[in-house]
């Protein structure tokens, strides 16, 4: 489905990352991939994951708070790939203390950091990628239900995800004339590095599984497969959307 297509994936930290499940789906469909990791600390992880199964992948260091690194990343991708067909945005950050207690107490620093990394990075990366998407393209980001409803403890991340989902719509309008589509996946809770350390995350997983119509939690591979759909021509008429991959949790009332 993606033979001769090139993509870049932001946000592989380890094998549990949603970005890694997405990479496997995209690679399985024949795409050539570039990966970015944040700092040398994670380089070995990404190298270890890609070495066996995806030789020939491009690995680049890129912290989105450093504009020079972002510019350098896309310069190198342009040089190696020539054209870019899709971009996966699977990054988020908030200081730990902001995901505890009340949203009311969010500091200015925590708010700005969370929104810079988790939301501003989408238009930032889209702006850098668009000139390489000369044959149209697809941009996919990862959101969560806390963007639209209060999920106790998600706090400033919910506000950042609301900005991310709204950015998805504004970018879809800006980039549509260039045949670049922009969509968000709203994933159900998944036990990843980000989720680890969130107090009561396992209680949350149980709660979701009990209430979701499918009576289970979503697998990262299911999110990856939906990202594959959004990067393929099968979804050519879809842009500016938030697609739920949450076993139906979001449709429930009482």
Q: According to the binding rule CB under 6 A, does residue 247 interact with ligand 1JT?
A: no
Is position 144 annotated as part of the catalytic site? yes
Q: Which C-beta is closer to ligand 1JT: that of 80 or that of 105?
A: 105
- The one of ligand NAP, ligand 1JT, none whose footprint includes residue 94, by CB under 5 to 8 A per kind, is ligand 1JT
Cβ atoms of 130 and 84 within 8 Å: the answer is no
Among 99, 182, 185, 227, binds ligand 1JT (CB under 6 A): 99
Q: Under DSSP, is residue 59 helix (H, G, I), strand (E, B) or coil?
A: strand
Q: According to the binding rule CB under 6 A, does residue 92 interact with ligand 1JT?
A: yes
* Least distance from ligand NAP to the Cβ atom of residue 126, Å: 15
Applying the rule CB under 6 A, the residues between 115 and 174 that interact with ligand 1JT are 144, 151, 153-154, 157
* Least distance from ligand 1JT to the Cβ atom of residue 232, Å: 25
- Marked catalytic residue, from 144, 145, 244, 249: 144
Q: Which C-beta is closer to ligand NAP: that of 51 or that of 193?
A: 193
Q: According to the binding rule CB under 6 A, does residue 93 interact with ligand 1JT?
A: yes
Tokens 């008429």 -> residue: 237
Q: Site residues (CB under 6 A) for ligand NAP?
A: 11-13, 17-19, 38, 42, 63-65, 90-93, 117, 142-144, 187, 189-190, 192-195
Burial class of residue 226 (count of CB atoms within 10 Å of its CB; 0-12, 13-18, 19+): buried
Burial class of residue 90 (count of CB atoms within 10 Å of its CB; 0-12, 13-18, 19+): buried
Cβ atoms of 68 and 60 within 8 Å: the answer is no
Q: Which C-beta is closer to ligand NAP: that of 42 or that of 54?
A: 42
- Marked catalytic residue, from 37, 145, 154, 244: 154
How many other C-beta atoms are found inside a 10 Å radius of the C-beta of residue 46?
25
* Least distance from ligand NAP to the Cβ atom of residue 3, Å: 27
- The one of ligand 1JT, ligand NAP, none whose footprint includes residue 193, by CB under 5 to 8 A per kind, is ligand NAP
How many other C-beta atoms are found inside a 10 Å radius of the C-beta of residue 251?
9
Is position 120 annotated as part of the catalytic site? no
Q: Which C-beta is closer to ligand NAP: that of 57 or that of 194?
A: 194
Q: Under DSSP, is residue 180 helix (H, G, I), strand (E, B) or coil?
A: strand
Two tokens at 126?
């889209």
How many other C-beta atoms are found inside a 10 Å radius of the C-beta of residue 167?
20
Task: Tell me which DSSP letter residue 14 carries.
Answer: S
Two tokens at 55?
């030789």
Strand partners of residue 89: 10, 141
Known catalytic residues are 144, 154
């Amino acid at each position: 489905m993606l033979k001769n297509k090139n993509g870049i994936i932001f946000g592989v930290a380890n094998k549990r990352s949603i970005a890694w499940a997405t990479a496997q789906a995209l690679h399985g469909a024949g795409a050539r991939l570039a990966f970015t990791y944040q700092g040398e600390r994670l380089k070995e992880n990404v190298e270890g994951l890609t070495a066996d199964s995806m030789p020939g992948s491009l690995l680049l260091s890129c912290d989105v708070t450093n504009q020079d690194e972002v510019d350098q990343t896309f310069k190198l991708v342009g040089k190696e790939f020539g054209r870019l067909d899709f971009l996966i945005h699977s990054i988020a950050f908030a200081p730990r203390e902001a995901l505890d207690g009340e949203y009311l107490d969010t500091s200015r620093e925590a708010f700005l950091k969370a929104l810079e990394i988790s939301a501003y990075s989408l238009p930032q990366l889209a702006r850098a990628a668009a000139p390489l998407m000369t044959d149209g393209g697809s941009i996919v980001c990862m959101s969560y239900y806390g963007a639209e409803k209060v999920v106790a403890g998600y706090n400033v991340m919910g506000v950042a995800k609301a900005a991310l989902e709204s950015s998805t719509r504004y970018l879809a309008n800006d980039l549509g004339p260039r045949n670049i589509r922009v969509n968000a996946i709203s994933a159900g809770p998944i036990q990843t590095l980000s989720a680890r350390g969130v107090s009561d995350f396992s209680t949350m997983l149980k709660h979701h599984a009990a209430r979701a119509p499918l009576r289970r939690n979503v697998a990262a591979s299911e999110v990856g497969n939906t990202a594959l759909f959004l990067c393929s021509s099968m979804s050519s008429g879809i842009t500016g959307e938030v697609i739920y991959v949450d076993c139906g949790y979001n449709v429930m009332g009482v």
